[in-house]
A = this chain, B = another copy of it.
């Protein structure tokens, strides 16, 4: 008697396979329309097997899928701590937008919360992703324990990135991901400069970051493109 193919997977492999199937389902429909039957079918396994791995049912599966997505999102900002800040942010945004592109509206909605199976735990998971992203950006800025203004600026930018990427999905992924990425990096530089205007700590971080930027990089391009726009407003200077 030959054991069915799925017997060959280890517990961890099986768990990962079921989470993949669940993520894919959550990505394309509302959480309330995802069932354990659907996950079993998508993974090509029996419903009891899904229950054996997730005895808490759909809620447990949802939270595990969210946790798995959170782990992947956490990796987005894990880029080398060297080179120009804009290069690091661009790389992180490439990872993030690839994730958004892959999971589409369904998972975006899931990350936004507001699903019928939402609990304080799922909200905490999503908030944890945001906090972790903020902390990693602050490490890239070499200010691991910032004052309130710089911290608020980074958190504000993260929210802006989320909002822009949800709008992006909503509008059929126009402009392309690279254009959106460049614009979000431009926004970061702009917010950093605007916050530097009134916060000495941010000013020091901005100076240090700009010193590492290159003339043909995003900061140089942005500076040369903004000057013609503001130079007409000489009455302000």
Contact = CB atoms under 8 A, between A and B. Distances in A.
Interface in A180-237: 182-183, 186-187, 189-191, 193-198, 203, 206-207, 210-211, 213-215, 219-227, 229-230, 232-233, 235-237
A17 interface: no
13 contacts: A152-B167, A156-B167, A159-B159, A183-B198, A189-B194, A190-B190, A193-B230, A194-B222, A196-B226, A197-B221, A197-B225, A215-B235, A223-B237
A98 interface: no
Interface of A: 113-114, 118, 123, 148-149, 152, 155-157, 159-160, 162-164, 167-168, 171, 174-175, 182-183, 186-187, 189-191, 193-198, 203, 206-207, 210-211, 213-215, 219-227, 229-230, 232-233, 235-237
A30 to B, nearest CB: 10
A150 to B, nearest CB: 12
Nearest to A204: B229
Nearest to A222: B197
A97 to B, nearest CB: 14
Contacts of A198: 182-183, 186, 225
Contact of A229 (B118, B163, B193, B222): B193
A193 B175 CA distance: 19
A38 B194 CA distance: 45
A123 B152 CA distance: 26
Contacts of A195: 183, 186-187
A109 B221 CA distance: 40
